[in-house]
Copies of this chain bind each other. A is one copy, B any other.
């Protein structure tokens, strides 16, 4: 996913989906193009969901990535997961893009930030 920046979030509580993942065959250009498009599509889908608050995402050169999406309520998060879990998307992810992933659903209780300037 292309959003390499901070999500502007309201005060807690809100919900987070922590998606840690290892890309498969990272660095193959054809595969990467397909993945980038699909990842952007997922971000667009999420942003259109009611209760979506923001997303932060990064990946290192070895293909290990962490994406955290933030949601207003468990209901908002569940509605999105239902959409994402549609068999087609999940199977593509498993057969083509990921070697391994872990997904953790958490309730954010406290938040702090610091910004130079």
Within 8 A of B (CB), among A2-29: 4-7, 12, 16, 18, 20, 22, 24
Tallying the copies of this chain within the complex gives 2
Task: Please indicate the chain B residues that have their CB under 8 angstroms from the CB of A105 in the complex.
Answer: 108-111
Taking a contact as CB atoms under 8 Å apart, the answer to whether A98 and B110 are in contact is no
Query: How far does the Cβ of A116 sit from chain B's closest Cβ, in whole Å?
Result: 5
| CA A108 to CA B19, docked complex, whole Å | 12
- A116 adjacent to B100 (CB under 8 Å): yes
Report A59-103 residues with CB < 8 Å from chain B CB. 59-62, 64-66, 68, 94, 98-103
Q: B108 near A103 (CB under 8 angstroms)?
A: no
Given the interface contacts A62-B4, A64-B5, does A103 sit within 8 Å of B112 by beta carbon?
A: yes
